[in-house]
Amino acid sequence: MIFFAHYLNAEVVDATEKTIGKLKDMIARGGEDYPFIEAIVVEKGDKQMFIPISYAENFGYDEITLKIRSEKIEQYKSGLKDFWLYRDIVDKQIVDISGTRVVRVNDIQLGKVEDRIRILGIDMSTRGLLRRVGIEKWRIFKPLEPKLIDWKNVQLVNGAIRLKTVSNDLKKLHAADLANILEELTPKQGISLISALEPEKAAKVFQELNPMQRRLLVDLLGEEQAREVLDNVPTDDLADYVKTLNLKETKRIFSYLKRDKRMTVEKFIEYPNDTAGGLMTSDFVEIDPDWTVEEAITHIKNISNKYRSIFFVYIVDKAGKLFGVVSARTLLVKDLMDPMRKIMKPLKKIHTVHPATDVKKVAEIMTKYNLFSIAVTDKHHKLLGIITVDDVMRCLMPYS
């Protein structure tokens, strides 16, 4: 195996055997699974040269020979996708997409493909570090093995990361995995990463963070981006977040929210966290009892992007009183012209809880009757919100 460290500080000589300087870095061009090395960075004193790799005739560990005279070298011109191996990668943090974790790079594995050099992976082992300082071959270090990660499974994260440099693979990671990665990054790196996500995905990541991380994220995002992210966070999660803030911070967050959402959050924060009211969310679908199945399905299609999941729709009148529940499965199998009041499960046959109901009691009811969600109503049967099983689990198994 060959590594970047093998070439670091190698002498570079031209066709007349004149020493030009020492190799201090390599430049690669992103955009491929295994990027090609396009140029080498050579230094001699204060002088720095960017020499196209195509000028190299012999690429040895100790000496790199060029096939032209130094005065005829046309220096390499960097492109937007270019990155430097030592400056941008070695000793930096890399996201291992396959392992959904952040690792530190000690060396870079290279490979020769059709007379060109490509990046194949990164070495995060102690041996990679020893290789760079020139003591890898000492007998005491022989048992140490390289720990390699395939290059196509990594994504560089640095302070200058831009939207176009974040790979689709990284964006496709589960929000919980992205949250774990953010925890290991510096605030500057974390903001660079979260800013590259769509607001909907950023909001899901926000929901996976602990209160302190949420506060830091909102502070660093700035008003405009914070508005976009918070607008996509469910009201129950926002209420939980606001409960951790002081009065000044709460006023600032409320100023970011739209009026209807702010009023709902204000109502939710009145309830203790360990009660049904503290757990409930307003993210549920309401349907008029006189609507047909076809009207209900059309409505759901139009608003579905606003919800994390839709397992049930709740049948309520114009005053907000709960009449019944219909599962998504029932909607799909019933006649399109059937009215909702005909196919719904009526109120007297469904389980509901009061806002003051203890979370353990809520969990007991949901477990006993195998419920994915449960409605929260007041004494007049007005639908206040619903509780999903994942929210119950979050309360019973809080952040460590």
Interval 68-78 mean pLDDT: 92
391 & 283 share domain:
yes
Instruction: Enumerate long-range contacts of 259-268, CB under 8 Å, 24 or more apart.
Output: 261/231, 261/235, 264/235, 265/235, 265/238, 265/239, 268/235, 268/236, 268/239, 268/385
Regarding whether 108 and 210 lie in a shared domain, the answer is yes
Least confident of 188-192, 300-304, 314-318: 188-192
Domain identity same for 74 and 154: no
Residue 244 lies in a domain: no
Instruction: Report yes or no on 254 lying in a domain.
Output: no
Enumerate residues 6+ apart whose C-beta is below 8 A from 298.
none
Q: Are strands 285-287 and 312-316 parallel, antiparallel or unpaired?
A: parallel
- 247 assigned to some structural domain: no
In this prediction, residue 213 carries a pLDDT of: 86
For residue 79, count other CB atoms closer than 10 A to its CB: 11
State the pLDDT at residue 162. Answer: 37
194 shares its domain with 159 = yes
Residue 119 lies in a domain: yes
pLDDT at 21: 96
- The model's confidence at residue 163, banded by pLDDT at 50, 70 and 90, is very low
pLDDT higher than threshold 70 for residue 38: yes
Residue 93 has pLDDT above 70, yes or no: yes
Within-domain flag for 67: yes
C-alpha distances (whole Å) from 296 to each of 321, 342, 376, 386 are 18, 13, 22, 19
pLDDT digits (tens, 9 = 90+) for 320-342: 999 999 999 999 999 999 999 99
What angle, rounded to 10 degrees, do the helices at 223-230 and 211-221 form?
A: 130
CATH number of the domain enclosing 360:
3.10.580.10
| pLDDT per residue as tens digits for the range 252-267 | 999 999 998 999 899 8
Answer yes or no: is pLDDT of 237 > 70: yes
- In this prediction, residue 159 carries a pLDDT of 40
* pLDDT value, residue 133: 61
15 and 115 in a single domain? The answer is: no
Minimum mean pLDDT range among 72-76, 159-163, 166-170: 159-163
Of 12-21, 25-34, 144-153, the range with the lowest mean pLDDT is: 144-153
Residues β-bridged to residue 28: 37, 83
| Residues 71, 115 within the same domain | no
- Same domain (yes/no): 378, 305: yes
Confidence of residue 18 (pLDDT cuts 50, 70, 90): very high
CATH of the domain at 37: 2.30.30.240
Residue 58 in any domain: the answer is yes
Does any domain span residue 232? no
Do 323 and 290 lie in a common domain? yes
Q: Are 25 and 143 in contact (CB under 8 A)?
A: no
Residues 220 and 159 in one domain: yes
Single-letter residue type at 24: K
Does 69 share its domain with 112? no
Round to whole Å and give the CA distance between 277 and 381. Answer: 14
pLDDT at 169: 62
Highest mean pLDDT pick, 88-92, 145-149, 198-202, 285-289 = 285-289
What per-residue confidence (pLDDT) applies to 303?
A: 86
- CA dihedral sign of residues 313, 316, 318, 321: negative
d(CA 31, CA 12): 28
Q: What pLDDT shows up at residue 338?
A: 95
- What is the domain range of residue 309? 278-396
Q: What is the pLDDT of residue 165?
A: 45
Whether residues 357 and 292 share a domain: the answer is yes
Spatial neighbors of 332 by CB under 8 A, at least 6 apart, are: none
187 or 133: which leads in pLDDT: 187
Is 234 domain-assigned? no
Confidence (pLDDT) at 141:
45
Domain end position, chosen among 52, 84, 116: 84
Please identify, among 84, 109, 130, the residue that sits at the C-terminal boundary of a domain: 84
Between residues 134 and 21, the one the model is more confident about: 21
d(CA 40, CA 66): 11
How high is the mean pLDDT of the chain?
A: 85
pLDDT band at 166, cuts 50/70/90? low
Mean pLDDT (whole number) for 104-129: 83
Give yes or no for residue 28 having a pLDDT over 50.
yes
What's the pLDDT at 140? 46
Question: Which of 224, 245, 263 is where one domain is finished?
Answer: 224
Question: Do residues 123 and 210 share a domain?
Answer: yes
> Count of domains in the chain?
3
- Residue 343 pLDDT greater than 50, yes or no: yes
